[in-house]
Amino acid sequence: MASEHIWVLLQTKGKTFKVLSDPEKGIIEVINEKGEILIRKTNLSKRQVETVERNFLYHIAKKMNGRAQGKTPENSDPFDPMII
C-alpha cells in the first residue's frame, strides 16, 4: 500500500501498539503486541484520517521527542486525546 502509514505507540507499562492508517482507503487500526486488532475505524474520509494522523503525531510524538510546546495555532487547543 503506497498510502499506508505505520507508527509504534509505546505505552507507559511497557506495551507497544502498532498504529496503521491509510487515508486513501479511510482506515485506522490499532494492533496490540499479539497482533490482535483493538480498534478498527473504516469508511473515514481522507481528511478525517489525515486529521487523526496530524493530532496523533503532534500529541504523542512531542512527548517522545521531548519537543517544547510553544504557542502555535496547532497547539492552542487544550484538548488532550490521551486524557479520558
Half-sphere exposure of 51 (CA within 13 A, CB side): 6
Indicate the average pLDDT of the chain: 77
Residue with cell 478498527: 40
Q: How far apart are CA 70 and CA 73, in angstroms?
A: 10
Domain ranges of the chain: 5-75
CB of 55 within 8 A of CB of 81? yes
Q: How far apart are CA 51 and CA 66, in angstroms?
A: 22
Residue with cell 496503521: 20
pTM of the model: 0.65
pLDDT digits (tens, 9 = 90+) for 3-28: 888 888 888 788 888 888 999 999 99
